[in-house]
């Protein structure tokens, strides 16, 4: 029996100007809890039950400039498609053909239309008989473009987007891959990738994931006039990997400066990343089977192999200096990095090197040092990764790495104030789930 549960958990911050922050804002805040009934029957073995979380957001209603209170006006939205024409788009938006023709004739070369790209959603405010009053769409990250009706025709509009910010909470369980679970939970890719990055010092998302691993995540989504514009930062997250619990909370002085800590203030940033491979939708489901049967002829296998498509980005797992970058027989194109503490890391079979990767170059953790390939003795594209301390090969999957600095003692009170609520929400999310499983 499939247990398709849904819980609704959302609260909203008031709309706010990104550019002009307003000091005084009425705070609209609510929290909803609810459950939706289970449905559907799925063969138990073929497709195990999946945690499903739905988030319903209350959205900011766009403020339309209505010339006459008695006029019947309404906003309509249509997507501008590939191969679309302005005339076709305006027709779908219910704009009178003569009005549309005039707009295009007078403003077809104006900035708003030049910035319009396939995939953008365009909203039109029309009055009776298809009379166009306003046209709006979001261009880029935070600009709204469009036209307003004036006595003389139409005048172009460019204004900062007014976003409402919703905090969402979602939870999921891993059956095959993180992205499959993210899809089931309705979690955007960018949030799944952030999860992998946040816990990248503790969990190798290419090798460590187990069926039954669970995650909960609290993150921001920015809305403009009711549409999700983008997913923002993860504010807090929990990952239960192979029975071990990891939690992260975001803590920063300002919206753009901060980092992730455990709820006790310990840094989640480690001296080395667990995986040298960039995490993405493509690599997440890739087989990790062995790639070199030729190996026996070469040498004992002393590394970890990551199957990934050619061209996948390979990252320096720690800060260091390039000791060598070049071609060696079995390794093919190989980079060796030297780190503190007589540690070195090796990345082999690369298709090409990262920009500026040559002997003596300094690299920081996460920098791209090369791209996955199948050079040297490799039967398919994969990354061969070695970790050495002095002359000794070590299994990087089993190493314990030191952490970066914890939250300074003087900041702990602020840390608790800011992050305490998130930890409580993660607890809440977990208890809701357990209750729902009964
Ligand atoms: Zn190997």
The domain segmentation of the chain, as residue ranges, is 6-49+164-270+415-437, 74-160, 281-394
For 253-288, the DSSP string reads EETTEEEEE-TTS-B--BSS-S-SBPP-HHHHT---
pLDDT digits (tens, 9 = 90+) for 105-160: 999 888 999 999 988 888 888 887 888 999 988 887 678 899 999 988 899 999 88
The DSSP output letter for 398 is: T
Mean pLDDT of the 327-352 span: 95
* Per-residue model confidence (pLDDT) at position 410: 92
Report how far ligand 1's centroid is from the alpha carbon of 210 (Å).
22
CA atoms within 13 A on the CB side of 243: 0
Report how far ligand 1's centroid is from the alpha carbon of 381 (Å).
11
pLDDT digits (tens, 9 = 90+) for 375-427: 998 888 999 999 999 988 888 877 888 888 899 999 999 999 999 999 888 88
Q: Is-same-fold flag (6-49+164-270+415-437; 281-394)? A: no
Contacts of 138 (CB under 8 A, 6+ apart): 120, 121, 144, 145, 161, 224, 227, 229
Superfamily classification of domain 281-394 = Glucose Permease (Domain IIA) (2.70.70.10)
pLDDT digits (tens, 9 = 90+) for 368-377: 999 999 999 8
* Per-residue model confidence (pLDDT) at position 28: 23
How many other β-carbons are positioned within 10 Å of the β-carbon of residue 161? Answer: 21
Report how far ligand 1's centroid is from the alpha carbon of 280 (Å).
21
Report how far ligand 1's centroid is from the alpha carbon of 386 (Å).
8
Angle in degrees, 0-180, between the axes of helices 189-198 and 178-185, rounded to the nearest 10? 130
Report how far ligand 1's centroid is from the alpha carbon of 271 (Å).
23
Ordered alpha helix ranges (H), 53-128: 86-92, 97-107, 111-115
Report how far ligand 1's centroid is from the alpha carbon of 368 (Å).
20
Report how far ligand 1's centroid is from the alpha carbon of 334 (Å).
12
What is the rounded distance in angstroms from the CA atom of residue 117 to the CA atom of residue 174?
36
Report how far ligand 1's centroid is from the alpha carbon of 304 (Å).
6
Residue 6, judged by CB atoms within 10 A of its CB (0-12, 13-18, 19+), counts as: middle
Fold held by 74-160: Nuclear Transport Factor 2; Chain: A, (3.10.450)
Report how far ligand 1's centroid is from the alpha carbon of 287 (Å).
14
Instruction: Report whether 55 contacts 8 (CB < 8 A).
Output: yes
What is the rounded distance in angstroms from the CA atom of residue 214 to the CA atom of residue 187?
13
Q: Which residue has the higher pLDDT, 52 or 113?
A: 113
Task: Look at residue 97 and tell me whether its pLDDT is greater than 90.
Answer: yes
Nearest to 103 by CA among 124, 87, 81: 87
> In CATH, what is the architecture of 6-49+164-270+415-437?
Roll (3.10)
Report how far ligand 1's centroid is from the alpha carbon of 322 (Å).
20
Report how far ligand 1's centroid is from the alpha carbon of 292 (Å).
7
Report how far ligand 1's centroid is from the alpha carbon of 297 (Å).
13
Structure tokens at 321: 């200096």
Collect residues with CB below 5 Å from ion ligand 1: 303, 305, 384
pLDDT range class, residue 285, cuts 50, 70, 90? low
Report how far ligand 1's centroid is from the alpha carbon of 65 (Å).
64
Q: Which residue has the higher pLDDT, 21 or 92?
A: 92
206-220, 231-245, 286-300, 311-325: least confidently modelled range: 286-300
Report how far ligand 1's centroid is from the alpha carbon of 329 (Å).
14
What is the rounded distance in angstroms from the CA atom of residue 135 to the CA atom of residue 123?
6
* Per-residue model confidence (pLDDT) at position 432: 60
């Amino acid at each position: 029996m499939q247990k398709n549960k849904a819980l609704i958990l959302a609260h909203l911050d008031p709309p706010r100007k990104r550019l002009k922050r307003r000091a005084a804002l009425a705070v609209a805040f609510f929290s909803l809890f609810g459950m939706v009934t289970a449905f559907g029957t799925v063969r138990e073995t073929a497709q195990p039950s999946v945690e499903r979380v739905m988030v319903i957001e209350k959205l900011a209603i766009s403020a339309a400039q209505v010339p006459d209170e008695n006029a019947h006006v309404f906003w309509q939205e249509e997507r501008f498609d590939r191969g679309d024409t302005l005339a076709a788009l305006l027709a779908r938006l219910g704009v009178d053909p003569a009005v549309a023709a005039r707009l295009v004739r007078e403003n077809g070369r104006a900035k708003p239309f030049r910035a319009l790209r396939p995939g953008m959603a365009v909203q039109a405010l029309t009055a009776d008989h298809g009379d166009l009053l306003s046209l709006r769409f979001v261009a880029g990250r935070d600009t709204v473009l469009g036209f307003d009706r004036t006595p003389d025709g139409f005048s172009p509009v460019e204004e900062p987007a007014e976003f409402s910010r919703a905090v969402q909470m979602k939870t999921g369980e891993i059956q095959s891959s993180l992205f499959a679970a993210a899809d089931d939970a309705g979690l955007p890719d960018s949030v799944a990738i952030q999860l992998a990055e946040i816990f990248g010092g503790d969990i190798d998302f290419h090798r460590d994931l187990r069926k039954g691993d669970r995650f909960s995540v609290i993150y921001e989504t920015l809305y403009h006039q009711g549409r999700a514009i983008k997913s923002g930062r993860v504010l807090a997250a929990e990952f239960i990997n192979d029975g071990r619990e990891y939690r992260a909370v975001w803590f920063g002085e300002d919206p753009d400066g901060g980092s992730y800590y455990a709820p006790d203030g310990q840094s989640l940033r480690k001296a080395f990343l667990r995986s040298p491979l960039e995490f993405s939708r493509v690599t997440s489901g890739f087989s990790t089977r062995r790639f070199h049967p030729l190996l026996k002829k070469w040498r004992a296998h002393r590394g970890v192999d990551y199957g990934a498509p050619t061209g996948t980005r390979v990252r320096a797992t720690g800060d260091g200096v390039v000791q060598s970058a070049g071609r060696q027989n079995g390794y093919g194109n190989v980079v060796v990095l030297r780190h503190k503490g007589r540690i070195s890391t090796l990345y082999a079979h690369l298709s090409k090197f990262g920009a500026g990767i040559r002997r003596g170059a300094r690299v920081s953790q996460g920098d791209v040092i090369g791209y996955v390939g199948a050079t040297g003795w490799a039967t398919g594209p994969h990354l061969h990764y070695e970790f050495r301390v002095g002359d000794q090969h070590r299994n990087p999957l089993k190493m314990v790495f030191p952490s970066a600095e914890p939250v300074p003692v003087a900041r702990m009170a602020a840390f608790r104030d800011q992050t305490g609520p998130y930890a409580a929400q993660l607890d809440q999310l977990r208890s809701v789930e357990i209750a729902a499983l009964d």
